[in-house]
Structures are given as structure tokens and as C-alpha cells.
């Protein structure tokens, strides 16, 4: 038995899930522990005092497309220009989605590695973004990690916020077999939050990855965890974007809409070499 949900992922056009992999699997647990990154080793610190980005690299901290040159959703991710889709204002990155003169939606994405693997990537540790999301139907901001080796791809969605649902966001783990799409495995957790809180103020969204467990955090409080897949062998690239659609209509999406990002950081565990 398979279920197809009305949303897109960033790696393929749709999600198809085996029913036994849904909520309630023994691989998944809820928890309430907190995390303090001050005890960890800072390895990546993007405070957005300025933005070092190019369309596809090399030689910049960020590129403006996925490393595998794939777009997704209902807004095209465009090359960086003088004032769109990225701006830095008082140390805050603003990713803007807006309609072009032709009436087509355009928005922005950042990835920490280019198509040749140049850039920042890390296997285990704690990854965190502090951000404020735009409010409105059809918006789909996200912070996520991707690890690839051969035909296998591991995707950790730290946060996907579907604007149709202002009182929750989704955390996910996907294990892709790129030769045998759709999914091999997928795990999801809907994380309840106070209505409109993720668009009214800044919050941190984090994930700690170790050899046995992947733990997800909201404001540094653990909200979910899942077993680390055995296929995870290669380090993660970091991605963040202001997507649109994700399977939901964009008729009423505010034009423009802006995602504000205070920082993106990564830490290694103190005992990782």
C-alpha cells in the first residue's frame, strides 16, 4: 500500500510513502531535551554581515541554486542580482519572493556547496538557522541538509513551513534511491507551534546528527528524533530557501513575501576528532 500526499519535496516531483513508514514507526520518538551549542566546536558561522554568493560558484561561500541544478516548487530560483532575491539589511539576510514583470514568481535559494562539491559540508554535528518566515498561503520556506553518495541521497528537512498551516511546521528525513525513484524511506513529524509565531518573531530551527540518531530542535528544545539511516556516509551540504507551492495553491500568496535569516551555523561534537 502506498500513499501519495499533496505536497512536493525538493528532490523529486512528489512524495510516495510506504504506509509502514509513517507516524508511529519504532524508528521515531518524541522528546523534550534541550541543546546548548556553547559546549560544541563552531565550524561554520554565517552572520550575514555581508553575502558571498554567486550563481553556481566556484569560489563563493554560497551558490544560488541546488548543487545538482534542480529547481522545485512554483517559484523559479534566480541568480543573485543587485537587489533581488537577496538583500542584507542590518545583519539580516532577506530572501524575497516576488512576481516578475511577466507575472512569474521568482525567489531565492542558498546552498553551501557547488556542483563539484566545493564549499562547506559536514557529516555529524549540530546545524542551526535563526529565522523569521513570511506569513501567507502558498509560501514554503525551508532549512535543510543533503548528503549524496553514488545513487543514495539523504535529505534532512530541519524545517519546512507550509504557509497554509500557521500553527505548525514539518520536520522530515528522506532516504532516496536515485536509481529507483520515488522514495526508499521517508519519516515526517508535524511540529505544533503557537499560531503565527514563526512569522511574528525569530526562532531557531536546529538538528543534531550523530551516528545513531538525528534529533530535531525548535528554539533549542528537542521536538522529534529518528534513527540515523545506515546509508549516511557522506557529509551534508546546507541549504535554505523561500520556496512556493509545495503542493498548495499560490493564488493568495502575498506579493512580495520575505524570509528573514539572522544566521546559519554549524558545530562539531567535541569528540569528533
pLDDT recorded at residue 271: 79
The C-alpha torsion from 158 through 163 and 169 to 173, rounded to 10°, is -40
Ordered by start, the domain boundaries in the chain are 30-268
pLDDT recorded at residue 257: 98
Query: Spelled out in words, what is the top-level CATH class assigned to the domain 30-268?
Result: mainly beta
The C-alpha torsion from 179 through 152 and 214 to 69, rounded to 10°, is -90
- Which residues 6+ apart lie within 8 Å of 207 measured at CB? 126, 127, 128, 145, 156, 158, 171, 214, 215, 216, 217
pLDDT recorded at residue 151: 85
The Cα–Cα gap between 186 and 6 comes to 15
Residues in the chain with pLDDT values less than 70:
1-31, 182-183, 272-273
pLDDT recorded at residue 49: 98
pLDDT recorded at residue 32: 76
The Cα–Cα gap between 90 and 197 comes to 22
pLDDT digits (tens, 9 = 90+) for 160-200: 999 999 999 999 999 988 888 766 789 999 999 999 999 99
Amino acid at each position: 500500500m502506498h500513499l501519495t500526499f499533496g505536497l512536493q519535496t525538493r528532490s523529486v516531483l512528489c512524495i510516495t510513502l510506504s504506509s509502514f513508514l509513517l507516524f508511529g514507526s519504532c524508528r521515531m520518538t518524541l522528546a523534550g531535551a534541550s541543546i546548548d551549542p556553547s559546549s560544541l566546536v563552531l565550524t561554520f558561522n554565517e552572520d550575514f554581515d555581508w553575502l558571498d554568493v554567486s550563481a553556481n560558484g566556484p569560489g563563493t561561500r554560497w551558490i544560488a541554486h541546488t548543487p545538482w541544478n534542480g529547481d522545485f516548487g512554483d517559484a523559479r530560483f534566480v541568480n543573485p542580482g543587485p537587489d533581488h532575491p537577496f538583500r542584507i539589511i542590518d545583519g539580516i539576510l532577506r530572501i524575497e519572493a516576488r512576481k516578475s514583470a511577466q507575472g512569474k514568481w521568482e525567489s531565492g535559494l542558498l546552498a553551501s556547496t557547488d556542483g563539484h562539491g566545493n564549499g562547506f559540508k559536514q557529516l555529524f554535528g549540530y546545524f542551526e538557522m535563526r529565522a523569521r518566515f513570511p506569513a501567507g498561503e502558498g509560501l514554503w520556506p525551508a532549512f535543510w541538509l543533503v548528503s549524496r553518495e553514488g545513487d543514495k541521497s539523504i535529505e534532512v528537512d530541519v524545517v519546512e513551513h507550509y504557509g497554509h498551516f500557521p500553527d505548525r511546521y514539518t520536520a522530515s528525513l528522506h532516504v532516496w534511491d536515485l536509481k529507483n525513484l520515488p522514495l526508499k524511506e521517508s519519516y515526517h513529524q508535524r511540529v505544533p507551534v503557537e499560531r503565527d509565531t514563526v512569522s511574528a518573531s525569530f526562532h531557531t530551527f536546529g538538528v543534531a546528527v550523530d551516528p545513531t540518531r538525528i534529533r530535531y530542535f525548535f528554539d533549542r528544545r528537542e521536538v522529534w528524533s529518528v534513527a540515523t539511516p545506515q546509508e549516511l556516509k557522506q557529509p551534508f551540504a546546507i541549504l535554505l530557501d523561500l520556496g512556493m507551492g509545495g503542493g498548495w495553491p499560490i493564488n493568495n500568496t502575498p506579493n512580495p513575501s520575505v524570509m528573514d535569516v539572522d544566521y546559519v551555523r554549524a558545530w562539531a561534537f567535541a569528540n569528533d576528532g
